[in-house]
A and B are shown apart, each in its own frame.
Chain A
Amino acid sequence: MLTVENLHRYFGSFRAVNGASLTIEKGSITGLIGPNGAGKSTLFNVIAGRLAPTSGRVTMDGQDITGLPPHELFHRGLLRTFQIAHEFGSMTVRENLMMVPARQAGESLVNTWFRRGAIRAEERALREKADEVLDFLTISHIADEKASNISGGQKKLVELGRTMMVDAKIVFLDEVGAGVNRTLLNTIGDAITRLNRERGYTFCVIEHDMDFIGRLCDPVIVMAAGEVLAHGSADQIMQNEAVIEAYLGTGLKNKVAHV
């Protein structure tokens, strides 16, 4: 459903993404792993329209979406979260979620005056939706907290919650689990699985925690030095010599060997 063809992104002479090609199948939860600085986040940034590619192509459902701005991708159902959680600091957590669906009757000024009733109904629906999402993520108690004041892990959950406010097609999660405790990590894992099964979301997930990846993702793509190094099921990846060399390290090799 989403393909990346020979994508390059350079920063000066540094090749952060250097000819990556990959496909994310519809309905999958695809894992993306690789050492620090492999270019994973940069790849996300290019796909999601935050950075322009140096060269290469991105297509979604057969349509060329290379270089489209983020807000247009949003309306096509492509959403992402940031590795470092972003929030609207001056608003509450609930308002943060309610900001998401921007395509609404309230958009035009004329409507704001003349369709007050419809807009109020919409606000109410939006509020209910936001509360539902907060409930799903087990963070209802911080709904009225200012978003700048919540913990880093809670911010990650709100980031995930943002993607649940609309019907997304494909969601890119950049280390939603990083800096989050075990219980919360399980909550996030469950949320991803449920969204995938119940609402048909396709996911691409960057994560360093191999347990998490192993449980959740199939297939798994490995990046190193801006290129795709390997592609396969989690088990295959964990046994792949090149991957172990580049990323997983000998510790895991031994662990895998013992099993």
Chain B
Amino acid sequence: MDLLNALVAFANFVFVPAVAYGAQLALGALGVTLIYGILRFSNFAHGDTMAFGAMCTILVTWGLQSWGISAGPLPTALLALPVGIAVTALFLMATDRAVYRFYRKTRAAPVILTMASLGVMFVMNGIVRFIIGVEDINFADGARFLIGAREFREATGLDEGLAIRSTQAITVVVAAVAMALLFWFLNRTRTGKSMRAFADNEDLALLSGINPGRVVMVTWLIVAALATTAGVLYGLDKSFKAFTYFQLLLPIFASAVVGGLGSPIGAVAGGFVIAFSEVGVTYAWKKVAGYVMPENLQPDGLAQLLSTDYKIAVSFAILVLVLLFRPTGLFRGKSV
């Protein structure tokens, strides 16, 4: 019984939140890794792209709500998501036209494109704050819980409750669908294959008749879809705040690097590695330990390795370790 309680406590406080957070990071890291592999630069504006996409989606959500349209038990934001993606895609393509294309044409070094993306980041950040403000915005509606803690306790008779918020379940399902679509696209379709070819060897891809303009456009479209979805899921799960997305940049890059920059499957794996490390290191294990350890061995304190205020340090530490010992990441991306 104690063991079961320990497991449930673990699932409730570590596993479920980490899976949801990992799925969000994975979607973010997929965008970063695609840009790195195909357009060949580290896009610092990615966090704010997620904020921008989430903002567009929230605005549409409010519009839908004011017309009395809802998705029943699901959050209305899911209905608004396609519009958010479309607007973000247009914005990204315009940014490419205005900024990145020039540097691509002149075959500028990747670091120059990265610096340009830093500029884009500040502009996007400003736009988001200007339009929607800096306050916390909670836009999740529909059912709150898939499984409530009390129902769970009553149904199982355990002391510990397991709560799964509907936003967590939705995060996982939507992320899984998005990833499945992406991998199908990259591996099965002609356009997806030509994108892989372009990432592999640009010169040869051009020589094989692959149109670079098209590859770039499709890349931004996919990046817009991934970033907006990631931003909306994160916002549903926690809340929307313009600044938090900027702070997500570090765990997202850490995920992409851990998995191997340029490797989509690596980005997914990396997202979960970072999420589990972050949640695991900042969780107070006292409760779990209380169930499984004998009385005299139980920790006096909270058994928390790091206060949640320092959770960003976890990504940073993992990033440094990976760069030191395995710069190509788990799945042998391009070395950084």
A residues neighboring B (CB under 8 Å) = 48-50, 69-71, 74-75, 79-80, 82, 86-91, 99-104, 106-107, 109, 112, 119, 162, 166
Contact = CB atoms under 8 A, between A and B. Distances in A.
Given A88-B201, A90-B196, A112-B189, A102 B207 contact: no
Given A90-B196, A102-B194, A109-B189, A82 B210 contact: no
A106 B206 contact: no
Contacts of B114: none
B197 interface: yes
Nearest to A45: B203
Contacts of A162: 207-208
Query: Closest 6 A-B residue pairs measured CB to CB?
Result: A106-B190, A74-B209, A70-B206, A102-B209, A86-B204, A88-B200
Contacts of B203: 50, 70, 82, 86
Nearest to A70: B206
Contact of A99 (B189, B191, B194, B212): B194
A101 B209 contact: yes
A104 to B, nearest CB: 6
B209 A88 contact: no
Interface in B167-216: 189-191, 193-194, 196-197, 200-201, 203-212
Nearest to A106: B190
Contacts of B196: 88, 90-91
Nearest to B188: A112
B197 A99 contact: yes
Contact of B200 (A70, A89, A166): A89
Contacts of B200: 88-91
B209 A71 contact: yes
B203 to A, nearest CB: 6
B190 A104 contact: yes
Contacts of A112: 189-191
B212 A103 contact: no
B207 A70 contact: yes
Nearest to A98: B193
A102 B211 contact: yes
Chain A contact residues: over half helix, strand or loop, or mixed?
loop
Contact of B191 (A49, A86, A100, A109): A109
Nearest to B214: A107
A112 B189 CA distance: 7
Given A48-B207, A74-B209, 4 more contacts: A82-B204, A87-B201, A90-B196, A102-B194
Contacts of A102: 190, 194, 208-211
30 contacts: A70-B207, A71-B206, A71-B207, A71-B210, A71-B211, A75-B209, A80-B207, A82-B204, A86-B201, A87-B204, A88-B204, A88-B205, A89-B201, A91-B200, A99-B197, A99-B208, A100-B209, A101-B209, A102-B190, A102-B194, A102-B208, A102-B210, A102-B211, A103-B209, A104-B190, A106-B190, A107-B190, A112-B189, A119-B190, A166-B209
A90 B332 CA distance: 11
A203 to B, nearest CB: 16
A103 B209 CA distance: 8
A116 to B, nearest CB: 10
Contact of B197 (A74, A91, A166): A91
Contacts of B208: 71, 74, 99-100, 102, 162
Contacts of B205: 88, 99
Give the residue among B190, B193, B197, B205 with the most A Cβ atoms within 10 A: B190
Contact of A74 (B194, B201, B207): B207
Contact of B206 (A69, A104, A166): A69
Give the residue among B205, B206, B210 with the most A Cβ atoms within 10 A: B206
Nearest to A113: B189
B279 to A, nearest CB: 33
Contacts of B211: 71, 102
Interface in B59-98: none
Contacts of A103: 209
Contacts of A166: 209
A99 B206 contact: no
A70 B207 CA distance: 5
A162 B194 CA distance: 15
Nearest to A75: B209
Give the residue among B189, B200, B203, B207 with the most A Cβ atoms within 10 A: B207
A61 B239 CA distance: 63
B201 A107 contact: no
A188 B212 CA distance: 31
A51 to B, nearest CB: 10
A74 B209 CA distance: 5
A79 B207 CA distance: 7
Interface in B127-179: none
Given A86-B201, A91-B197, A91-B200, A107 B191 contact: yes
Nearest to B196: A90
Contacts of B207: 48, 70-71, 74, 79-80, 86, 162
A153 B194 CA distance: 25
